[in-house]
């Protein structure tokens, strides 16, 4: 993520360590995705499968999804806990 906005030069990080809270949001998103997508879908498709039939797809999806959930968590932190608001008029300039 860039330190400043390319259009208006707004500094995203309001204070040092502002995005540390994004790790907790990312953890919540990742656990939810692992339980819902990994566990439930595997249970519905495989029924009563072996332990490793659950662990391997869930861990591999965790590795693939983690960078995306952390970036999404940072965006959520900006929208919910900062005074920054989106201005669509600046996007097309």
**Would you say 82 and 14 are in contact if contact means Cβ atoms under 8 Å apart?**
yes
Q: What domain range includes position 27?
A: 19-85
In a domain, 11, yes or no: no
Instruction: Decide if pLDDT at 93 tops 70.
Output: no
- Kindly report, residue by residue over 2-33, the tens digit of the pLDDT: 778 787 777 777 777 777 888 888 888 888 88
In a domain, 9, yes or no: no
pTM score of the predicted model: 0.61
Domain count, the chain: 1
Instruction: Decide if pLDDT at 73 tops 80.
Output: yes
In a domain, 5, yes or no: no
> Which pair of tokens denotes residue 59?
């861990």
In a domain, 93, yes or no: no
In a domain, 6, yes or no: no
């Amino acid at each position: 993520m860039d330190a400043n906005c390319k259009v208006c030069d707004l500094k995203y990080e309001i204070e040092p360590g502002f995005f540390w809270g994004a790790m907790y949001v990312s953890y919540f998103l990742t656990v939810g995705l692992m339980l819902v997508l990994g566990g439930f879908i595997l249970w519905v498709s495989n029924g009563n499968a072996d332990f490793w039939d659950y662990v391997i797809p869930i861990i591999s999806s965790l590795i693939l999804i983690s960078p995306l959930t952390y970036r999404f968590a940072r965006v959520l932190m900006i929208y919910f806990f900062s005074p920054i608001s989106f201005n669509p008029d600046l996007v097309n300039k």
